[in-house]
Amino acid sequence: MKIFGIDPGSDRTGYGCVEEVGNRHQLIICGYLSAPPGATFPDKLHVIHAGLAALLTRHQPDCVAVESIFHFRNVRSALKLGHARGVALLAASEASLPVFEYAPAEIKRAVVGYGRADKHQVQQMVKLLLGLDAAPAPHDVADALAVAICHLQSRPGSAAVRLRAELPPSAPRTWRDYRP
């Protein structure tokens, strides 16, 4: 199964495509989309939509996983993020792909094992899970890959779900429970 993860942002939208090969995750492509400095907000949205549409056409994923909106103190930032999410969802819809949304804490819990993990921890775990030489950067790229990994590990029948079901009740479920 091939998942395309998106971390929407109005200035920089991270993306990453991950494929499940047996019990492992394999990186297909990752990066970010951003408009040139000084671009108008509508131009930024156009760059996000056109870039994602081209990437989805080129890589033909089975579905798209997107980070959902969380609470903002700044309403203006939340609205801009909502617009960026909207054009990302539109690109997925135009490609006739199913879309799955995950909250930031849910993504961190699936990838790191702790819902309040910081950006550096997410980057390092994505590096380990995908067998990369370096942590993906900037953090928008790592977050997009984490969304894709979260979907792969959360769907019914995945190796991670089967493994969790097979663990005895006393087995550690997260890194916080582990005792050597």
Q: Where are the domains of the chain?
A: 2-166
With contact defined as beta carbons under 8 Å apart, do 19 and 59 qualify? no
With contact defined as beta carbons under 8 Å apart, do 147 and 129 qualify? no
Cα distance between residue 160 and residue 166, in whole Å: 10
| Tens of pLDDT, residues 108-123 | 999 999 999 999 999 9
Consecutive H or E run containing 145: helix 139-154
* Residues annotated as catalytic (active site), given as ranges: 7, 67, 140
| Tens of pLDDT, residues 64-113 | 999 987 766 788 888 999 999 999 999 999 999 999 999 999 999 999 99
Q: What is the pTM of this model?
A: 0.85
Domain 2-166, what fold?
Nucleotidyltransferase; domain 5 (3.30.420)
